[in-house]
A and B are shown apart, each in its own frame.
Chain A
Amino acid sequence: MTAIQILIDGFVISALYGLGAIGFTLIFGVTGVLNLAHGGIMVIAALVGWDAANRFSLDPYGAAALGVLAGLIAAYVTYFVVIRPIQRSKRIPADETEIFILTATLLWGVMIQEGMAYLFSDNPVTMRPLLPGVVHILGDRTPVNELMIGVLCWVVIGLLWLVVYRTRFGKPLLAASENPRALGLLGFEMSNIHLFSWTIYGILTGVAGVLLASFLGVSSASAGGLTASAFSIVVLGGLGSVWGSLIAAYVVGYMETITAYVISPQLRPIPALIVLVLVVYLRPQGILGRR
């Protein structure tokens, strides 16, 4: 029975990790920004969704939609208020822009965390399951909501693939991640591409936050840990590589789940961290990294 449970739990947790990390790696690949407020945006989506559900007595889907919207707005605020002024500032030397953005997003993440703790306390909240009840799979009792979350993650990842590889809006994104300068020379308006990537980022991260809240619960204190987890998955997979991130998410997700079930829940994050250290030593560019 445990084997089946590990398979199912590992699948869903990895899918959530993957969804959370994809936005992080996408925004780095396309716009060069390492957004250390990433976890904060997930937390905003989760807490606003949860609060709206209680405040306006919404059904789980309405609440989830509002949560995703909040995530999108938070992503826009991050871009327009925190990042763009630094990118455009003439007083910051071009070669220091990256470190300024890194610091700014780190501080912004702390501000979000403290702000959310002030508004909602640091107590974890869980959003109502999208589908209640349990099903029995080969004798293993699994919440329907958990399966639904795994499926939803992959639907969103699939949609992302369609947008990026199959639409005329998406192709410039790919190009921008390869060679932003050439794209600019070809006459593409980079700020439009950036705005588009932040839109996708906001939706992805909002969905990840809402689904996480519905599965395991989220608190304002989760922000730092969520950023760290996305960051290590992305480093493991290769900075900027979407597929690498997905593979890394599954490596980390399954290692954690197997450790928790077979060895001890206390040691859950340890083996994945060891692997991360080894990868940084032996293959610094990550699983599918280009550099």
Chain B
Amino acid sequence: MEDPQLEEDQMNPTKRIRKLTLGATALGGLALGAAMPALAADSGPIKIGVIGEASSVAGASIINAAKLAADDINQAGGIDGRKVEIITYDDHSSASDAVSAFKRLATQDKVAAVVGSYISEIALAIEPWSGRLHMPYITPGAASTKITAAVHKNYKMNKYTFQGWLNSAFLAQSVCDFGKDEMVGPYHMKTAVIMSEDAAWTKPLDETYKKCLPKVGLKVLDEIRFNPDTTDFTPIFNKIEGQHPDVIVTGISHVGVRPTVQWHDQQVPLPMFGISSQASTSTFWKDTNGAAEGVLTQTGAAPDVATTPKTMPFAKAYQAKFGDSPSYVGYAAYDDVNAFAQAIKRAGSTDPDKIVAEMEKTKMVGTTGTVQFYGKDNQYAHGLEYGKGKVTGLFIQWQSGKQVTVWPEDVANGKMKFPSFVKLTAATH
């Protein structure tokens, strides 16, 4: 059969040449495309995917800190001479956006590992995909204990997921330890009301609060869980006050400004301590017009406290580059990128199973302490290890526009101070 196309081409040489060139380019492109994965694995930059929540206070630190980590690694020569390249996506605090970003990172961007999201609901949505796509994944801030429970229960499937920040049970434990040292000790407080936002990460948090607060001497009078969409906190504070506790123990992260400002404007006479993630960012003072005065929160590290030799240089570089100081998630994201980079270096490859095996061996001095992960037999498998000599976090308090570290005592650089409307009830009991 005669090919009419050929005939036409023979009649028109210019067109033929153009066609040939096009064909060649397409072929070349195909060849290049086929060669790409092999190239990505052996030479060229090592890509690490980052999924952040760019417009939320805590989540915005993830992308910034990851970029800074890559800069530092590259300045020090990269991973065996190969540069680290960060590919970022904003998930707009949506689990479906995060999952599509994760799939894209794995299948199109061909990254070696992903650092992503501080929201537990989102990390829990990514976790099964990390298993299906064999893509090593670490969350720098999601605290739900379900993340590591899944790794423990189905190691083979979920071993690609790591938790790069303390889980809620440990967070609650550190809050209780603080309560014992700083509330029960000096002020002889006896009763507390738990006030937490209704979210995946606060379920295990509240469970542990209810167990460990009584152990340190704070009787729990009530547990109030409120919708993160709440705008008016007056009824909640009103209810808490009606129960006459000595102190409010918080579990808030998605909210922060509203309860803090209303606590201040309504002059609720009770001190608050616990987890108030947004208060760990340097912009919180401005966001609350100074209503943050006296607010206490657990956090990863503080810019002016040398938890490790890495803390202050990181915080300083972050501040110089982005204008404010990192949230707790920023410290963790910086450490997580470094942990992956070191694991890839030790593995000598970007093979996911080898990366996971090396991640499990991590013992790295990071910005918040010594980063290690629990083994697969632990109930918190692949969770960040908590304890002295590992990571404990610290407590900061806002005082006259500055974050002052007040606990633990060996790193504290100030004493607790409360606004005058707060009544410390030591004397009345």
Q: Report which A residues bind B (CB closer than 8 A).
A: 2, 5, 9, 13, 53-54, 117-118, 121-129, 132, 134, 141-143, 145-146, 216-217, 220, 225, 257, 260-261, 265-266, 268
Complex-state Cα separation, A53 to B288, whole angstroms = 12
Structural contact, A121 and B261, CB atoms closer than 8 A: no
For this complex, 28 residue pairs linking A to B, each with C-beta atoms less than 8 Å apart, are A2-B238, A2-B242, A5-B238, A53-B289, A117-B55, A122-B56, A123-B55, A123-B57, A124-B258, A126-B258, A126-B287, A126-B288, A126-B289, A126-B291, A127-B289, A128-B289, A143-B265, A143-B266, A216-B231, A216-B232, A217-B231, A220-B55, A257-B232, A261-B239, A265-B230, A265-B232, A265-B233, A266-B198
Check A145/B265 contact, CB under 8 A, given A121-B60, A123-B57: yes
Cβ of B148 under 8 Å from chain A: no
Mask of B235-271 contacts with A, CB within 8 angstroms, 1/0: 1101100100000000000011110011001110000
- Nearest chain B CB to A71 CB, angstrom units: 19
Nearest-neighbor residue (CB-CB) of A132 within chain B: B265
Question: Is B107 on the interface with A (CB-CB < 8 A)?
Answer: no
Q: What B residues does A146 contact at CB under 8 A?
A: 265
**Distance (Å) between the CB of B222 and the closest chain A CB?**
12
Inter-subunit contact B226/A265 (CB<8 Å): yes
List, in ascending order, chain B residues with CB within 8 A of A126's CB: 257-258, 261, 287-289, 291
For the complex, give the distance between the alpha carbons of A126 and B256 in Å.
11
Please, which residue of chain B has its CB at the minimum distance from the CB of A118? B55
Contact A13 B232, beta carbon cutoff 8 Å: yes
- On chain B, the number of residues with a Cβ less than 8 Å from chain A's Cβ atoms is 35
B43 within 8 A of A: no
Q: Are B265 and A5 in contact (CB under 8 A)?
A: no
Q: Give the distance in Å from the alpha carbon of A118 to the alpha carbon of B56 in the complex.
A: 10
- Hey, which chain A residues are within 8 Å of B233, CB to CB? 265
Cα(A216)–Cα(B259), bound, Å: 9
| Residues B265 and A217 in contact, CB atoms below 8 Å apart | no
Given A126-B288, A134-B266: A260 and B232 within 8 A (CB)? yes
Measured between beta carbons, the chain B residues less than 8 angstroms from A266 are 198, 225-227
Known: A134-B266, A134-B267, A141-B267. A217 touches B258 (CB 8 A): yes
Instruction: Tell me if B232 and A121 are in contact (CB < 8 A).
Output: no
Is residue B132 within 8 Å, beta carbon to beta carbon, of the partner chain? no
- Within the assembled complex, what's the spacing in Å between the Cα atoms of A215 and B57? 21
User: Which residues of chain A have C-beta atoms less than 8 A from B289's C-beta?
Assistant: 53, 126-128
Task: Please encode chain B, from 55 to 72, with 1 for each CB lying within 8 Å of some chain A CB and 0 for all others.
Answer: 111001000000000000
Contact partner of A123 (CB less than 8 A), chosen from B231, B238, B257, B265, is B257
Can you name 8 extra interface pairs (CB under 8 A) apart from A121-B56, A126-B291, A128-B289? A9-B232, A9-B234, A117-B55, A123-B257, A143-B265, A143-B267, A216-B231, A265-B230
Instruction: Give me the 6 closest cross-chain CB pairs, A-B, nearest first.
Output: A260-B235, A126-B261, A216-B231, A121-B55, A143-B265, A261-B235
